[in-house]
Structure 1
Amino acid sequence: MKVILPVAGKGTRLRPHTHTKAKSLVHVAGKTVLEHIISRLEPLPVSEYLFITDENGQQVQNFMERKFPHLKCRYFVQQQRLGPAHAVALAAPAIEDGDDLLVVFNDTIFVADLTKIPQLCTDADGLIYSKEVEDYQRFGVNVVRDGRIVDMVEKPDKPISRLAQVGLYYLKDGRGFMKVIEQTITAGDTVKGEYYLPAVFMRMIAAGQTLRAPEIEAWLDCGKPETLLETNRFLLQGRHHNHGVVENSVLIEPVHIEQGAIIKNSIIGPNVSVAAGSRIDKSVISDSIINAENHVTNMILDQSLLGDVVTLVGSPRRMNIGDHSIIEMDQ
């Protein structure tokens, strides 16, 4: 099996956190998004990881060489922003006869047992992993009949289906899949000038191939600050890891404090992850992600996301307040 990981893209919904780094290297629950994804793929018999990158590709390569030096990786640069199907097509030179493919887009951390792929795909040509959602109008959805996908609808007005595509795809015949992408691009089958995978899958279905839509257990979106914090809460459930230095402080589970972080005179948690090199003093922080090398002093933070090398200093208040007082402080 070969895995294609399209990690190009500006990550505009996560700005300013993606101004200086690839969106796949944003942290959540003590790891980068990319590390969460790779760790979920390691039980599979993957022979090579194929990354589709942009100008931040060297960051991704450096991370993989440092964190997963044992994995075989190859990198392809997407020079033109022509859509997801175009990005996947760039890996075609690495796909050989007999290769099966797993395509994983990096806006999403998934919870699913991928070791069941052979069992799920015994009588199918591919799997379009899905998740039933209430707000189906926001997604491309699979229309399933008798266990097979018969149609795909982008952002439907009516609940024709609630099975949203989650950006995780398995194709039994990798070379054949690449040929269908090539046909789609040659035909100029675009949406607003970009090539998308549903057009490719519909060509496969029209040719008589069978695609199924197994549901994943959890779909953890990392594409926006608010959903990144939701994912942080989910991943920290049942975990309480303190590898840093904590002095005269209270930790309210769950929290994840990396080795090299220092917490003093503070209340941290619940649902807080603190990266290495950060120093927090005289502060109260909940439901937040604190990245590397931050200095936070005299602050009260909730539902906050701090990038790398941030200095945040507040000021303590001294008060002498009599009976029956009402104090409201907006700032």
Structure 2
Amino acid sequence: MKIIVPMAGRGSRLRPHTLTIPKPLIPIAGKPIVHRLVEDIAGVLNQDIEEIAFIIHESFGKNVEEDLIAIAEKLGSKGTIYYQNEALGTGHAIMCAKDSLSGPAVIAYADTLIRADFDLDQNADSVIWVKKVDQPEAFGVVNLNEENHIIELVEKPKEFVSDLAVIGIYYFKDVAVLKNELQLVLDNNIIHGGEYQINDGIKQMMAKGMVFVPGEVAEWMDCGNKDVTVETNSRMLGFLHQDGEELVAATVKLENATIIPPCYIGEDVVLINATVGPNVSLGNGCKVLDATIKNSLVQTNSTIKNANLDNAMIGSHASFDGNFTSISIGDYSVLE
């Protein structure tokens, strides 16, 4: 089994945090989004992962590439880096990794997290992960027949088709078939919205009689902008706490401080005259003095003092001193 992860976009809706780090490497509950994503997929598949191929922009740099290779190796997999330097769509991004497109594979876009527990349908040619939503008109949805096979993909339907939204994770029994269809999309310049789309390759597979089935996830968590990323951090902390995972490092130093779970507190964090939680992630090396923080996400080596924060997102190596509450400041920022 392989996992293909297109992640070349910078994540403009999450600026300023994505000005210094690609969105998929922003930590959620102490671990990068893309790391949690591939771990969750590997857990659902319950199979050995031979290779994880990451499709990035060349400008991300060697440090990012090394981090991604390390993520793959932690899962016992080979890590491969491909580049998509032009924003030409999902189909184009996948084809940038065409040398890895063979055999069974999952394609997963690295701006979403899931909680799921099900077996793959071995009789299907493909599984498209979906989640029931309240406003299907805002999403791409699947249309099912009486046999529970996917017969159509409909983008933001004006009239009700189904309430099963496509979340951006796909399994292919042989991803080489998708590669062949996407090559035809590129060769024939089939473009929607100015881009080459994965859906056009999938639709051609359906037209040839290949069987697509839905795989419904229990939870679907987005990381598109600051507010939903903070919410996803809170939800993930809740799940990990329920799972009994240890989230507070042994090296945390407390002085007249209280931690209200669930919280992730990284290595060498210092809390003095502070109340932290619930639903807070503090990365390694952070210092919190004379402050209260809840429902917030702070990356690494940042200092917060004289603050009362709620729904806040703070980058790495930042310094905040003040009375603001719902804030969003990036790496190396100083508000004093």
Taking structure 1 as the reference length, the TM-score comes to 0.89
Provide the alpha-carbon RMSD of the alignment.
1.6
Unaligned runs of 5+ in 1: 316-331
- Cα gap change, 1:209 to 1:289, in 2 (>3 Å): same
The answer to whether the 8 Å contact 2:54/2:68 transfers is no
Shift of 1:314: 2.4
Alignment pair present for 1:92 and 2:85: no
Bigger mean CA deviation after superposition, 12-21 or 238-247: 238-247
The answer to whether the 8 Å contact 1:266/1:282 transfers is yes
- Correspondence for 1:31: 31
Aligned-partner residue type, residue 32 of structure 1 = P
- Correspondence for 1:320: none
Q: Decide which of 234, 253, 257 is 2:265's aligned counterpart.
A: 257
Shift of 1:170: 0.4
Aligned-partner residue type, residue 117 of structure 2 = D
Moved over 6 A (4+): none
Shift of 1:49: 0.8
Aligned-partner residue type, residue 173 of structure 2 = K
- Correspondence for 1:285: 293
- Correspondence for 1:75: 81
For residues 47 and 289 of structure 2, the distance between their equivalents in structure 1, rounded to whole angstroms, comes to 43
Bigger mean CA deviation after superposition, 229-238 or 60-69: 60-69
1:36 alignment partner, SS class: helix
What is the correspondence of 1:115-264 to structure 2 with a 5 Å cutoff? 116-117=119-120, 120=121, 122-146=122-146, 147-237=148-238, 239=241, 241-243=247-249, 244-264=252-272
1:86 alignment partner, SS class: helix
- Correspondence for 2:326: none
- Cα gap change, 1:166 to 1:180, in 2 (>3 Å): same
Shift of 1:62: 1.8
Bigger mean CA deviation after superposition, 144-153 or 234-243: 234-243
> 1:216-274 CA distances to partner (integer Å, 9 max, x unpaired)?
11101011111111111111116263212222111112111011211111011111110
1:18 alignment partner, SS class: helix
Unaligned runs of 5+ in 2: 324-336
2:159 alignment partner, SS class: coil
Q: Decide which of 303, 306, 310 is 1:298's aligned counterpart.
A: 306
2:19 alignment partner, SS class: coil
For residues 212 and 58 of structure 1, the distance between their equivalents in structure 2, rounded to whole angstroms, comes to 38
For residues 93 and 28 of structure 1, the distance between their equivalents in structure 2, rounded to whole angstroms, comes to 31
Aligned-partner residue type, residue 49 of structure 1 = I
Shift of 1:80: 1.4
> 1:171-208 CA distances to partner (integer Å, 9 max, x unpaired)?
11121110011111222221121011111111111111
Aligned-partner residue type, residue 68 of structure 2 = M
> 1:97-139 CA distances to partner (integer Å, 9 max, x unpaired)?
xx1111011110111236x22xx1x221101110110121221
For residues 68 and 174 of structure 1, the distance between their equivalents in structure 2, rounded to whole angstroms, comes to 20
Q: Decide which of 236, 255, 279 is 1:271's aligned counterpart.
A: 279
Aligned-partner residue type, residue 194 of structure 2 = G
- Correspondence for 1:310: 318
The answer to whether the 8 Å contact 2:8/2:85 transfers is no
Shift of 1:66: 4.2
Aligned-partner residue type, residue 310 of structure 2 = D
Aligned-partner residue type, residue 267 of structure 1 = T
> 1:121-170 CA distances to partner (integer Å, 9 max, x unpaired)?
x2211011101101212211100112111111111112211111011000
The answer to whether the 8 Å contact 2:72/2:79 transfers is no
For residues 63 and 22 of structure 2, the distance between their equivalents in structure 1, rounded to whole angstroms, comes to 7
The answer to whether the 8 Å contact 1:102/1:168 transfers is yes
> 1:16-42 CA distances to partner (integer Å, 9 max, x unpaired)?
110011111111112110121122244
Alignment pair present for 1:111 and 2:115: yes
For residues 79 and 285 of structure 1, the distance between their equivalents in structure 2, rounded to whole angstroms, comes to 39
The answer to whether the 8 Å contact 2:91/2:197 transfers is yes
For residues 9 and 97 of structure 2, the distance between their equivalents in structure 1, rounded to whole angstroms, comes to 16
For residues 135 and 288 of structure 1, the distance between their equivalents in structure 2, rounded to whole angstroms, comes to 27
Aligned-partner residue type, residue 225 of structure 1 = K
For residues 204 and 115 of structure 2, the distance between their equivalents in structure 1, rounded to whole angstroms, comes to 29
